[in-house]
A = this chain, B = another copy of it.
Amino acid sequence: LKKYVIIVAGGTGKRMGTETPKQFLCLNSIPVLMHTINVFYLFDNMINIVLVLPKEHINEWSELCKQYSFNINHIVTKGGEARFHSVKNGLSQIKETNCLIAVHDGVRPLVAAEVIKRSFDCAEEKGAAVPSVTINDSLRILTEKYSRTIDRSSVRAIQTPQCFRADILKRAYEQEYEDFFTDDATVIENIGGKIYLVEGNRENIKITTSLDMQIAEALMRSKA
């Protein structure tokens, strides 16, 4: 099946204490978002890439592409209010229904190619697959006054790319927005879809703070 990836880069970098949105910051001298697009292109140079950016950052992005001579082909579309609306805008760029669609966070440049493959393969077979990793720390749930333990062995931290058969994903995104839609899996699940987990890679962190940028730099170095 033909493959698409919607790369969601909606954040405006408020948490970073910097004017530049985090996906435009440089990691090893190229912007985070170019790393992310590169990984998908290297995974499959026939993949169709849809990039969702806040309206006000689209010009800056095309300037960056010129500046860095970045020439991997991709469609750019504008983001919406929440992640849900951004993904929905991205989906509207994909007319096919018999294909596979990955949704990936723009600020996860360290996803491994084998994780992308695993997610697509499982989605082709089962409809909906998301990468996940085990959690090293003990976990507790807050209760009204104190806290109680939960068994971490059955809990997984969820990453992206979250991969789906296009018909399933499109149907899910026809519903009304809900506040608890934190990722695509929750959107699918809300219309009764089943989410299958595949193994992610630990390096695949979501860069949301300057501390994360420093960790990502260390991880990039150790990969090289």
Which residues of A does B touch, CB under 8 Å?
Answer: 130, 132, 135-142, 145-152, 154-159, 180, 182-183, 185-186, 189, 194-197, 202-203, 206, 208-209, 211, 214-215, 217-219, 221-222
Contact = CB atoms under 8 A, between A and B. Distances in A.
Contact of A197 (B132, B146, B209, B211): B146
Contacts of A183: 138
A155 B141 contact: yes
Total copies of the chain: 2
Contacts of A219: 211, 214-215
Given A211-B203, A214-B218, A155 B140 contact: yes
A147 B154 CA distance: 10
Top-7 shortest CB links A-B: A218-B218, A137-B157, A138-B158, A146-B194, A214-B222, A142-B154, A214-B218
Which label, helix, strand, loop or mixed, suits the secondary structure of the A interface? mixed
A211 B155 CA distance: 21
A170 B18 CA distance: 49
A140 B215 contact: no
B140 A195 contact: yes
B145 A150 contact: no
Nearest to A186: B149
Given A149-B189, A217-B218, A139 B159 contact: no
Contacts of A146: 194-197
Given A138-B157, A215-B215, 20 more contacts: A136-B206, A136-B208, A138-B182, A138-B185, A140-B155, A140-B195, A141-B154, A141-B155, A141-B156, A142-B154, A142-B155, A142-B197, A146-B195, A147-B156, A147-B197, A148-B189, A203-B211, A211-B222, A214-B222, A218-B218
